[in-house]
Structure 1
């Protein structure tokens, strides 16, 4: 094989096995020649492939021929990928095929020879595209008081399962909109202990998605701002995020979503206020009510509030759950939900396999928010017949 016969953007190919092939019939290029039925060449590759590309050209090629590309994980059992019976011209013609991730052997076979020969070369093996990692659900747990330790959390994903190597930053701002956002010098761990320097400011946690190998870094993703930071000993409340509810049919109650609720130095009960369409419980499978009253223990709260959604009108129910009391500033928890009342959608499919005595007829339905009591297909010898007359 010529040295420049194959190139790869992945771990270098392991090498070739072949039978019956000859040198190229022209003096230029790096092609080899298939000139007899049954000639074959197999390339062993070392790592996960994505696409194979190669050139074929004919020399006096005429008549019926079959040239086949196949793949194998073990070099023993090959599955056909591409069978070529036409389209090979006198000049190089590019062919390509997608490869299975498990493929380690790629085989080209001149199955049936025609008049003339087939030149072969320019093989390129492409590796799968490696995508950058992502992070989501970036949140802060803990209370925004001086001396308190905040903990950042997030979910990491990487399509190629590259190991998480994300980095962290903590930021301050002068308001909840992030005005004058500034990284805190030296705050590069997943946890951060608030100091007097952050008093009166708002805090957020940032995660720069990164992986130990592969394409990196990804995009930096941030938590919501919490705050303002208050002095230790001051009553304070903090809540996590609640996942958006799926669109829900009228008068149907969803499974529960939830948010965490924390508080310290509280001087009285805390209330989770009512919001149309929503009900709350401190027990996931417990009794849900339109509002909750929570009594602090040793002036503190650390609990999960479960939320269910029951729409009665087809509309948006996006809103804010207000948590108040305990001597702390009110806390707003944003919630996203939609009530829907979609009808049944019926589609008549095309008829097929028509004979004098039989036919295949088709139809489908999407149930929507209604209950379907019965369904079927009407048919008639009359074209465009009225519903119910078939």
Structure 2
């Protein structure tokens, strides 16, 4: 280029104290931009470069001419040119992935927590997840038959009460004292009523005025009464001590005994009642009969009638040879097609010979069938 124009120039530091002339333009070689001066302001007014990289764009609430909001609010527009501050409410926003629900009520979805989510090392098959009590999780092996301790020894599958483990304090009142009946003799009464059942005479310790009586001195006419062989003296003190502990045997509730509680072959004919309420309760249906369990020995004579036989079920294979006699065949029920004679030929004639039906062979040409009268056989002549 033939000519060049160089305006006054200097660093930013030099410009900071330079006022210049009104309308004067200088160049800030530190900021690489032109500076306009008004003749009074030190440093002048640096101009923005095209890429604005020397401009600090700090816009304040006052610059935007809007009312300030509260801490954490965001700036929103109403779509019509008006801006304002508002609070973000994401509580009702739906969530997805491994969780369900909304932001304010997030739920972990089913089957989403696995080994990776627990941040533990995987175990082997059938192990269980355990804690050490200090926040650490790990997999361990289940002890299927652990050793017992305390008053019980052995294992869970074969536990044993330790010797000396059962103390008096562990027993109920009924197991810590015997039942005692006391009576006063009158010189005449021999039988007294007991408050508890006595199984046998040797289950009682009996004393009269402190003298223990042998079992031969009394009997048990019933399980709740004692009878002396001789009436105890008048005013004598009789003490009957029941040896052994009382125990209560509960009666199973109605319907509580299932088939699993019954031993094999435990239900005999004597246990079955013939007076149950309805036929439905007495009936043995086909569901209770094992296949092929009903034999001919189980069927009473003449018990099977026509109504028990299904139609078209009896064929010739079920009929014994020679068992159908004339009385079993209805009159006029056998036609010619049902009659068969051995060695029959065309022209044969069947007749009754007085004892059986027989065949009359064919005669010769020109002969006629003749009869010899009543009680005689026909013939050709």
TM-score (norm 1): 0.21
Kindly indicate whether structure 1 or structure 2 has the higher relative contact order, using CA contacts under 8 Å at least 6 residues apart.
1
Give the helix-richer structure, 1 or 2: 2
Query: Larger radius of gyration, structure 1 or 2?
Result: 2
